[in-house]
Amino acid sequence: MNWEKLDKELTEIVEKKNQLSAMDYSDEKYDDLEEAIHDLEDDFNENYESVLEKEFEKIYTRLKSDTDILLPTAYIANKYKPVLPDANGVVTYEVTGREGVPIESDQFDRQDVRLVLVPNPVRILMIINGKPQKDIWKSR
């Protein structure tokens, strides 16, 4: 698995989603950017669904959740907060709020638990009640 390629493609989607979230619907570029994102998401699902689905299955099993696993792009947030670049110039991202896919698990006693796919490095973040808790999976 080429994790660097997956990370690059996920980062491109995230950056475009951030651009889209900063635009008004009336912006003349809105529809074109939205269409570009859909095309990137279709390619991402086609290229990485089988790999990421296996990882989500492991997570759902560990969390004892019988919630349906969705396509990988469903786990991409609508907005990411970029964090200052590290020493290597790599920008990481934070996600807060009601982003990602909600999951049900008796382990979390009626809390709002969500999973979000985050780039740099590719990881799956657990958000509980709008606050990021921990990365529960990272790419190799």
pLDDT at residue 2, as a whole number: 93
Q: Collect the ranges in the chain with pLDDT lower than 50.
A: none
Q: What pLDDT score does 92 carry?
A: 86
The pTM for the full model equals 0.91
The structural domain count of the chain equals 1
Instruction: Identify the pLDDT of residue 40.
Output: 98
Give the pLDDT confidence score for residue 106 in this predicted structure: 87
Position 109 scores a pLDDT of: 85
Give the residue numbers spanning the domain of 99.
3-138
What is the rounded distance in angstroms from the CA atom of residue 2 to the CA atom of residue 81? 25
